[in-house]
Amino acid sequence: WDEGLTGPCNYYRASPLRPPREGEAHAAGVELPDAMLSIGMPTLVVWGLDDPALRPGLLDGLERWVPSLRLRTVPGASHWIVHEQPERVAREIGDFLADAP
């Protein structure tokens, strides 16, 4: 929180995804090129399986966009996993970095 919310707010400002206006298609109507969605770097995702907003189904097919994916799912954790299980998150990050080329 010491860094403020400028970065996260800029992320949402730059996104073409937004609530639809009357008569507009929702997010499913947005088409983005594959190159804009793909991540070529090794990537760690630590996902709380009990997040009520970001459901585990969002992980389906993620490897298509992130070929070098390391996925760690955590039962009993929510969207706030970094606060709920900080030791687990730190361990996963440490292991990931230790394995980095």
Taking only the tens place, the pLDDT of each residue in 10-35 is 888 887 776 777 877 666 677 778 88
Residue 85: what pLDDT? 95
Residue 28: what pLDDT? 66
Q: Is residue 66 part of a domain?
A: yes
Residue 8 corresponds to which tokens in the numbers above?
Answer: 């996260």
Q: Is residue 1 part of a domain?
A: no
pTM of the model: 0.69
Side-chain half-sphere CA neighbours of 52 within 13 A? 0
Q: How many structural domains compose the chain?
A: 1
Q: Is residue 17 part of a domain?
A: yes
d(Cα 34, Cα 40) in Å, to the nearest integer? 12
Here the CATH number for the domain that contains residue 15 is 3.40.50.1820
Burial 10-46 (b: 16+ CB within 10 A, else e): eeeeeeeeeeeeeeeeeeeeeeeeeeeeeeeeeebeb
Per-residue pLDDT reduced to its tens digit, 55-88: 999 899 999 999 999 999 999 999 999 999 999 9
- Residue 95, H or E segment: helix 86-98
Q: What domain range includes position 88?
A: 6-98
Residue 69 corresponds to which tokens in the numbers above?
Answer: 């994916």
- Residue recorded with tokens 């070929």: 67
> 92 pLDDT exceeds 90?
yes
Q: Is residue 63 part of a domain?
A: yes
